[in-house]
Amino acid sequence: MKWLSKIFKGSNHRVSYGDDQGRDTTTTSRDGRNKGAEKTVGDDLDHAIALSLSEEDHKNERGREHSDYDEELARAVQASLDITDRLPSSSTVRESSLGLHRCAGCNKEIGPGRFLSCMGAMWHPQCFCCHACKQPISGTEFAVSGNEPYHKDCYRELYHPRCEVCHNFIPPNSARLIEYRAHPFWGQKYCPAHEEDGTPRCCSCERMEPRDARYIGLDDGRKLCLECLDTAVMDTHECQPLYHEIQDFYEGMNMKMPQPIPMLLVERQALNEARQNEKDGSHHLPETRGLCLSEEQTISTVYRRPRPSRHIPFGEMRTESMKLTRHCEVTAILVLFGLPRLLSGSILAHELMHAWLRLNGFPHLLDPVVEEGICQVIAHMWLDSQIGSSSSSTGKSKPKSFNHDRLREFFLHQIAMDSSPAYGQGFRTGHQAVVQFGLKRTLDHIKLTGSFPV
């Protein structure tokens, strides 16, 4: 660099100021061996002294400016050298720096040769290793997590979220940020695009269908995951043991039904048509899963349906039309077919509570928040009781499974976290009343005032 050479030239000039021959010449001009020259200038001594002093002053002034400039540049060079010592940019360590640095990996002194300076420490190249694969990190880029270095590929495999539907790395959005969706209960992470590309969800547990799994399709367009399929209730005959279990649950709370009520499993279309023909009642849109009928209607029920398996698709479904006549305030209870036992049971418990209220003299037009809320409280109580052994849709007991427990927790979570005013806020208000006053006092207060006790 030109300015460096200029500085060093100036420094040499200062360091090499004078030599032996120059000093001898100056001396001889003082010891009289050059008297002729001294005499020649003797006559103009005063004039020479004056000129010399003036010229010396001028030279000293320029010399001070030049010296200040040289010293300033010299300080800049030294600062540059100091920085280089602290943060070596070269892979070669000078002998003078040995012993001053220790490898952060092996804690041994860094000798002559190549070394790395990163993460605020010095490393032997073979000691700077990926925390995941334990292999040395070469190249110029690496990732850090928890103060540990990683190869970029290793870091991505460990920490970059993968979509649990397509199993690819979730791509960044337009702002270069990783954006994904996650189910609030299951935690299933997936690309936002899958909400728009027709990826199906299980109609029971709401999980999206992974690309390497196969959900079972129902005739009405719904799909079931294999876990929910294991205990799915497929027809009216198969649901009878579960219905009797729910009725026993009511009797255990001293809430026996005054008279038998027909129960039918139906398809989605039949359920929606029956809902439209009902004059009263609140329904949880967009999907109705159960209904307590109070009007006379002709209903197409799922009478027989061969059970599917993981490898054998559904067989032919048999339906049967039934004319429902009204003998009391309740005509029948309808439940959507093809749902797992726990969900079917909670729907039955909910709809049976509507029937119990109508058959026991409660106000006919209760506030939906109160009526739907107390029905959800009963459904929640039944789900909460399903601990221990689980049962198949045929009523046969079998050891509980992890899937049974997780599904129960999910359906409980759905009831508790519902955001709708009637079903969600109604449940939370009703649940608080039952906890504080008990179920009997709460029901008595509702019958008398049409509201929850506070």
Give kind and range of the element (H or E) at residue 234: none
Secondary structure (DSSP) of 89-112: -SS---GGGTTS-BBTTT--B--S
Task: Please tell me the predicted confidence (pLDDT) of residue 345.
Answer: 97
**The tokens of 372 are what?**
């739907």
Q: How many CB atoms lie within 10 A of CB 234?
A: 22
Place of tokens 């060079």: 77
Q: Which residue, among 349, 418, 428, has the nearest Cα to 384 in the 3D structure?
A: 349
Maximum Cα–Cα distance for the chain, whole Å? Answer: 154
Question: What is the mean predicted confidence (pLDDT) over 278-299?
Answer: 74
Q: 113: burial class by Cβ within 10 Å (0-12, 13-18, 19+)?
A: exposed
What one-character DSSP code corresponds to residue 186? T
The lowest-confidence range among 162-176, 306-320, 348-362 is 306-320
Dihedrals φ, ψ of 449, to 5°?
Answer: -115, -15
Task: Please tell me the predicted confidence (pLDDT) of residue 24.
Answer: 37
Instruction: For the chain, give the mean pLDDT.
Output: 76
Over 90: is that where the pLDDT of 189 sits?
A: yes
3-state secondary structure of 312: coil
Distance CA 292, CA 281 (A): 9
Q: Which residues contact 291 (CB under 8 A, 6 or more apart)?
A: 271, 274, 275, 278, 281, 283, 333, 334, 351
Give the Å distances, CA to CA, from 357 to 37, 292, 446.
138, 11, 10
Over 70: is that where the pLDDT of 93 sits?
A: no
Q: Please tell me the pTM assigned to this model.
A: 0.68
Distance CA 193, CA 198 (A): 9
3-state secondary structure of 247: helix
**The tokens of 15 are what?**
């360091």
Most confident stretch, 5-9, 31-35, 106-110, 366-370: 366-370
Task: Please tell me the predicted confidence (pLDDT) of residue 304.
Answer: 64
**The tokens of 29 are what?**
């001009």
The C-alpha angle 350, 202, 343, rounded to 5 degrees, equals 20
309: confidence class by pLDDT, cuts 50, 70, 90: low
Task: Please tell me the predicted confidence (pLDDT) of residue 282.
Answer: 56
Distance CA 120, CA 137 (A): 16
Question: What is the mean predicted confidence (pLDDT) over 94-110?
Answer: 71
Over 50: is that where the pLDDT of 22 sits?
A: no
Q: How many whole angstroms from its chain centre is CA 159?
A: 11
Over 90: is that where the pLDDT of 114 sits?
A: no
Over 60: is that where the pLDDT of 405 sits?
A: yes
Higher pLDDT, 313 or 125: 125
403: confidence class by pLDDT, cuts 50, 70, 90: confident
Task: Please tell me the predicted confidence (pLDDT) of residue 312.
Answer: 53
Over 60: is that where the pLDDT of 310 sits?
A: no
Most confident stretch, 50-64, 384-398, 399-413: 399-413
Cβ–Cβ under 8 Å, residues 190 and 209:
no
Give the Å distances, CA to CA, from 246 to 252, 268, 276, 329, 351.
10, 23, 27, 20, 11
34: confidence class by pLDDT, cuts 50, 70, 90: very low
